[in-house]
Amino acid sequence: MKSIDDLISGYRRFRAGDYAQQANLYRELGQGQDPNIMLIACADSRAEPSDIFNAAPGQLFVVRNVANLVPPYQPDGGLHGVSAALEYAVNVLKVGHIVVMGHGGCGGIAASLDGAGNPAIGEFVTPWVRLLEKARERVVESGSVNPQFALELEGIETSIGNLMTFPFVAQAVEAGELSLHGAWFAIVHGELHWRNAKTGRFEVISAT
């Protein structure tokens, strides 16, 4: 899509196609939502969660931001979009799963590697990717031959760790009411890698 006209044309195709075929579903969703999975993904236009998981409207509660990051719990009265969505998902929707999904070629990860302290990256991007500072240091110190990929995975681990700093998340996990997951999507290959909760390793999900 190159223009607003393209966007409007897409809407018209949606109304004539998917919406017309699922009109009853949309009418039901108009009364409320009841997803069981929250998915925290990157804002990157190439990694669309609904497409990757073939999800219908109403099945995923999705939050997207630069580098699919979750900040630590910080009740300081500031404006916290991710934290607000997380609170709603866990306390109101009562989701049973939270998935943090990274992806290949992430620009936010590249910004962190280029120097999270570099203000030239952006007034808002710079402090945001500083959430990856410790993970970035671990990757650099490890001498990884592919630091971009390594930090994409470390970023997922950072976000999962930060999720557990929220008291309501930790309480739900400890009560067995909530599970945390990590995933990474390889855009160029269309492969999904899933984090093994026992080993911490990311394993390719079979396409069949």
Residues identified as active-site: 42, 44, 46, 103, 106
Binding residues for Zn(2+): 42, 44, 103, 106
CA distance 63 to 85: 7
* Contact assessment for residue 86 and residue 169, using Cβ atoms and an 8 Å cutoff: yes
Cβ-Cβ contacts under 8 Å for 106 (sequence gap 6 or more): 42, 44, 67, 68, 148, 152, 155
Q: How far is CA 56 from CA 29, 52, 118, 151, 180, in A?
A: 11, 11, 40, 31, 22
- What beta strand segments (E) does the chain contain? 37-42, 60-65, 97-103, 179-186, 191-195, 202-204
Binding residues: 42, 44, 103, 106
Q: CB neighbours (10 Å) of residue 48? A: 14
26, containing H or E segment:
helix 23-29
